[in-house]
Amino acid sequence: MCINDPVAPLCWAVVLWAFPLLLPLAGNLRADAQSENLQTSTDQGVQNRSEDRPSVVTGSGHWAYQPFVRPALPRVIDQDWSLNAIDDFVLARLKREDLRPSSPADRPILLRRVTLDLTGLPPSIEEVDTFLADTSPDAYEKVVDRLLRSPHYGEHWARPWLDLARYADSNGYNIDVPRSMWPYRDWVIQAINDNMPFDQFTIEQVAGDLLPDATRDQRIATGFHRNTMINEEGGVDTEENRVASVVDRVNTTATVWLGTTLECAQCHSHKHDPFTQQEYFQFYAFFNNSSDDGGAGPNSSREPIVYLMKPAEQQELERIRAEIAHLEIKQQESTPGAKAEPTDQVKEMLEEVRKEEADLLASVPSTLVMQDRAEPRTTRIHLRGDFLDLGAEVTPAVPAVLHAWPHDQPANRLGLAHWLVDPNNPLLARVTVNRMWQRFFGLGIVATSHDFGTQGNRPSHPELLDWLATELVATGWNTKAMHKQIVMSATYQQSSRVGQELLGRDPHNRLLARGPRLRMEAEMIRDNALAISGLLNLEVGGPSVYPPQPPGFWLEFGTKGFGMEKWPASTGANRYRRGLYTFWRRTTTYPSFTTFDAPSRDRCIVWRPRTNTPLQALTTLNDPVFVEASVALARRIMRLGGTDLAERTTYGFRLCQGRRPQPEELRKLDALYHQQLVGFLKNPESARALVANGSGQSLAAANVCEIAAWTVVASVLLNLDATITKS
């Protein structure tokens, strides 16, 4: 909601009456609610256009299974608008629809958009001013290159990948206790920051442990498939649980790298796509050799595990294990009839040294990894999907409708990884660039980014999709180059303003006649508030943290007696880490994230819905993090915003939205400040309570009423629609 929206006078009147009633309205009334329900109404909206309806072609004739070739660039008249090949394809489609592209976005808005898209954080006022002062032709490109080099780029782009990888810090199921997976999360961040080619990024996660002389990092990468849930409840069937883990790995691999609903073939041949049940279990056979037991029952093993030891710790472990080996030999050498005392003494010494080993291993970070058994398992078809009802034996193989198996590759996960990234794969590059496009524009060129099969939607711009796919392969699977190509396009740089006629013709911006406008996702909303307020801790990586959440929340889910009954709230700077580092518990996902549509990560998630609910406004009003951010922003405005009221208001507004406020917006915010100051001067105790609640300390300063008044203004600014929206 902008300050000059028709509903604004009501909001300002309400704030005079009761502060808690204002912000839910300020945070959630939207000028164009249709576009903000983009994800949840995608299917209905897309189906209304005939060119986006599912293809009736079945089998190998379906468009997604055809090899892609680099399309010729379309001939367009308005060459002055196009900045790269993306624009040629978009403009050609707009011409066919008798539409014109929108004008470029204002520079402060564009800078904020691209900064949020590449790092997940808002630009500083200094960065905005530097960009506005730079009149060189490559000013925007310099910004893009700087953002791509930022360590926060990897953090931001790791987050959607962790949804795909179903990353969590806990086991799942009812006994949802912690496990150490954060080294895998940090591996993803580092790989993205290093611009690891996407084919290598794939190989290391699917089969890094099988690479020759696999490094520790390559083994950590295989944590992708150790993110399966672990069921430690009593009475769990070990084999059933192991099979469930293998099935999850099969389905996730097909979703992430093939955009295929292969899981539909687990119980019977696929009803719509050309995948048989036999092919499903041939694919299953690649994952059926993993040495982990899937984690079943209270005494299940977490092995295999990689420990992140420092050199001194590794030396100590080797010393301990050498001593254990020596004592074990000594124990075996004891013969019947020998004195009992020496034998008992060796036994005690052995127990002592083994405890030393256990204590050392418990003291260093570790993470779960993949590893294959020396003795392969036999794989059989599960009739009707029942692991107890076994059919014919099968060996590892890939679906016949897709590209051929490379003959020089072994029939294991490593061979499968190389098959996935084979340039002849018709799906991988298409699926990957489509997900990138979805991140920037809110909707993929193929709207059903999880399903490229016959029941999915056809691409809105098929030639553009294939051009992007060939470009990704041609650049050596260079992810940063692809992101730069997209954000440097005139298509991306358009204004997101939309008139009624265009909104009626293309409510979901499938034709790309305007720039993207999307409400931020859960972690971004929190990070944005913390960054604006100056509280955000920008440390990269490390163990997960525990920012404040409602007390007793975890106990509601039956975990008493198994640990993790109390949320161990972090203190100091760890309270203000990026949302990426918040401890992710599957059964009780961090409440404010859940409110803003974050998944539990029980399974692979390709896209998150975007909903509008009153709970979201209540969260940004009452959640301790947002209250603290409001107080901190108030103090920042008073400390750095100058001495004049208009200067301070402008400073706070620019921190939140990048641009300068319009005169009417400034007038209303200044009036709000005066109204609140008068109210707090009449009731200074309420001012003290508000400010102390946000700062965590009692304040006796004479200006407490001024701080409280600015806290109200700051909270309104943080709750404005434009503040939590990328436009």
What are 16-54's pLDDT values in tens digits? Answer: 333 343 333 343 333 333 333 333 333 333 333 334 434
Mention every residue, 6+ apart, whose C-beta is less than 8 A from residue 260.
254, 273, 275, 427, 451, 452, 453
The residue behind tokens 């909001």 is 11
- Compute the average pLDDT of residues 171-197: 94
b/e string for 55-91 if b means 16 or more Cβ within 10 A? eeeeeeebbbbeebeeeeebebeeeebbeebbbbbbb
Percent of the chain beyond pLDDT 90? 77
- Digit-coded pLDDT (tens) for 134-146: 999 999 999 999 9
Q: What is the 8-class DSSP label of residue 71?
A: P
- Digit-coded pLDDT (tens) for 501-536: 999 999 999 999 999 999 999 999 999 999 999 999
Confidence label for 6 from pLDDT (cuts 50, 70 and 90):
very low
Tell me: pLDDT of 487 over 50: yes
236-240, 512-516, 613-617, 628-632, range with the lowest pLDDT: 236-240
**Mean pLDDT, rounded, of the chain:** 88
Confidence label for 73 from pLDDT (cuts 50, 70 and 90):
very high
Residue 17 to residue 20: CA distance in whole angstroms? 9
Measured from the Cβ of residue 154, the count of other Cβ atoms closer than 10 Å reads 21
pLDDT of 298: 67
Residue 80 to residue 550: CA distance in whole angstroms? 55
Strand ranges (E), 281-389: 305-307, 366-368, 379-382
Residue 635 to residue 655: CA distance in whole angstroms? 13
Strand ranges (E), 369-459: 379-382, 390-394
Tokens representing 651 are 């400073």
pLDDT of 564: 72
Identify whether the C-beta of residue 443 lies closer than 8 Å to the C-beta of residue 509. yes
- Compute the average pLDDT of residues 607-621: 94
- Compute the average pLDDT of residues 671-683: 94
Residue 211, exposed/middle/buried by CB under 10 A (0-12, 13-18, 19+)?
A: middle
Residue 246, exposed/middle/buried by CB under 10 A (0-12, 13-18, 19+)?
A: buried
